[in-house]
Structure 1
Amino acid sequence: MKAEPRNKDVDIEGNVAEPIENLRLKLIYKIVFFALGILATLTILILIRLSDNLVLEKKRQALRHFEELASHVIEHQNHSV
């Protein structure tokens, strides 16, 4: 039985091994895209929170405006009587 010379870059199943530089580059890409995903998520959450704060402030302004209008109407009714 004659031993066949084996290529070190090919495993038992015949798959060609990737160079370490390619694996390192893929890992770096995964880390960068993961970090970008986290950054995008945090940005969206911050924008939602700011939006909620603005809505709450506008509701308070509307309530103050309504109370002011109501007090003027009540004063006007009291002066009419």
Structure 2
Amino acid sequence: MLYEIEVTNKKGEGIFRAKHYFEAEKERTVFTDEEGFKELKACRNLVLKIFYKCPYCKKRYDKKRGLYTHINMTHPEHAHTI
């Protein structure tokens, strides 16, 4: 699953996590997979806003449930893979 995450660094210094560098007190958008998401989530100083992206048409959803509904309705041939 592909995640689009808006990350805000609340620490007074830069942080390097999941192959991304986050400058102090700034917001950045990153695209990552499951493994990168877990690493970002583990860092206390990073505030995350998560969006889920459809792997077939790249539409963005706020909730995982919305993504699953979209795939079942729009891409039924791929519904069994998720």
Q: TM-score range by the shorter chain?
A: under 0.3
TM, length-normalised to structure 2: 0.21
Please state which structure has a larger fraction of its residues in strand: 2
Larger RCO (CA within 8 A; separation ≥ 6): 2
TM-score (norm 1): 0.21
Q: Which has the larger radius of gyration?
A: 1
